[in-house]
């Protein structure tokens, strides 16, 4: 695991966008795994800037998003479909048929999940997966549990996740309790993973990740320690209260 500590959110966003750009330069038809949340917004803005300056071309790129709220349609402006269109896809030259996001209103959710994993495989797997991290160590929407689910699946969100996401809704009561998420296999079979960590509220999660007492589904991000190509880009405000970096780079 490579730990890259950056000075601020701007640097985090540029570093992340540079990694995406180099992957696409090396492989114009790269397959990307994409996150939502507040952390990657700056990276998406950087990528849009690169596109406008003709320094990146998404025409052959394929994307798979990590997750979507259950029961939320494409038109719902709180959905991750809407988020991705507004914050990224509508500003770049990606082919709409190359965009994949779990369908939160699929009639048959199980079938939808199987088809999603199948499509990732058919596309040759994910070249670069970008992740954020939840306060409780969730990746995608793989919540702490006593077992990790391998395939894309419908999941119950942890209470702290429902609370954390309430800021995007009219409050806790409207914050979704279920989501469809890529499972551990989709994440771990990606050839390269980049985890973005921003904000003081992530200090506890970063501490737990970097101290890596054990790999356990109780802290899903711990599985990143058993992947051989992971870069963690951390804004230093998320680690300011402790100094583990030199001790734990591997
Ligand atoms: C949601 C998303 C995750 C994301 C997390 C952190 O739970 N499903 O993929 O990593 O939020 O979001 P933020 O970047 O806003 O802290």
Residue 12 CA neighbour count, 13 Å, CB half: 25
Cβ of residue 66 lying under 6 Å from some atom of ligand 1: yes
Q: Within 10 Å of residue 54's Cβ, how many Cβ atoms? A: 7
Question: In this predicted structure, what is the pLDDT of residue 250?
Answer: 44
* Residue for token pair 């025409």: 59
Q: Which atom of ligand 1 is nearest to 133's Cα?
A: 10
Tens of pLDDT, residues 145-185: 999 899 999 999 999 999 999 998 989 999 999 999 999 99
Cβ of residue 220 lying under 6 Å from some atom of ligand 1: no
CA of 44 to the centre of ligand 1 (A): 15
CA-nearest residue for atom 11, ligand 1, is 37
Cβ of residue 152 lying under 6 Å from some atom of ligand 1: no
Cβ proximity of 11 and 44 under 8 Å:
no
Q: Which atom of ligand 1 is nearest to 80's Cα?
A: 8
Cβ of residue 90 lying under 6 Å from some atom of ligand 1: no
Cα dihedral 89, 92, 94, 95 in deg (nearest 10): 90
- Report the alpha-carbon distance of residue 74 to residue 100 in Å, rounded: 12
Q: Which residues of the chain have pLDDT under 50?
A: 246-250
Cβ of residue 38 lying under 6 Å from some atom of ligand 1: yes
- Report the alpha-carbon distance of residue 73 to residue 93 in Å, rounded: 24
**pTM, two decimal places:** 0.95
Nearest CA to 242 among 38, 5, 11?
Answer: 5
Ligand 1 pocket check: which of 33, 39, 143 to mutate, most ligand atoms within 8 Å of Cβ? 39
**DSSP codes joined into one string, 123-166:** TT--SEEEE---TT--BTTB-S-SS---S-EEEEPPHHHHHHHG
Ligand 1 pocket check: which of 12, 68, 72, 138 to mutate, most ligand atoms within 8 Å of Cβ? 138
The residues that are catalytic are 67, 136, 138, 143
For 156, phi then psi, to 5°, come to -85, 130
CA of 115 to the centre of ligand 1 (A): 24
Cβ of residue 39 lying under 6 Å from some atom of ligand 1: yes
**Phi-psi bin for 169: left (phi > 0), alpha (psi -120 to 50), beta?**
beta
CA of 133 to the centre of ligand 1 (A): 6
- For Cα atoms 104, 134, 159, give the angle at the middle one, nearest 5 degrees: 70
Q: Which atom of ligand 1 is nearest to 66's Cα?
A: 9
Q: Which atom of ligand 1 is nearest to 132's Cα?
A: 10
Question: In this predicted structure, what is the pLDDT of residue 242?
Answer: 56
């Amino acid at each position: 695991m490579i730990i890259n500590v950056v000075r601020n959110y701007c640097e985090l966003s540029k570093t992340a966008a540079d990694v995406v750009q180099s992957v696409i330069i090396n492989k114009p038809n790269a397959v990307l795994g994409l996150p939502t949340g507040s952390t990657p917004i700056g990276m998406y803005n950087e990528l849009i800037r690169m596109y406008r300056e003709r320094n990146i071309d998404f025409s052959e790129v394929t994307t798979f998003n990590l997750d979507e709220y259950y029961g939320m349609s494409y038109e719902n402006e709180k959905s991750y479909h809407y988020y991705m269109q507004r914050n990224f896809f509508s500003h770049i030259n990606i082919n709409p048929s190359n965009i994949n996001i779990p369908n939160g209103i699929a009639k048959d959710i199980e079938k939808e999940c199987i088809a999603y994993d199948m499509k990732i495989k058919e596309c040759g797997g994910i070249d670069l997966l970008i992740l954020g991290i939840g306060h409780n160590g969730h990746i995608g929407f793989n919540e702490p549990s006593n077992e990790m689910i391998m395939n894309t699946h419908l999941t119950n969100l942890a209470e702290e996740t429902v609370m954390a996401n309430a800021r995007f809704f009219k409050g806790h009561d409207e914050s979704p309790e279920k989501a469809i998420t890529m499972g551990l296999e989709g994440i771990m079979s990606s050839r390269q993973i980049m985890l973005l960590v921003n904000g003081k509220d992530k200090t506890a999660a970063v501490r737990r990740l970097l101290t890596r007492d054990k790999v356990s589904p109780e802290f899903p991000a711990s599985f990143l320690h058993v992947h051989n190509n992971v870069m963690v880009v951390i804004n230093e405000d998320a680690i300011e209260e402790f100094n583990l970096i030199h001790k734990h780079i591997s």
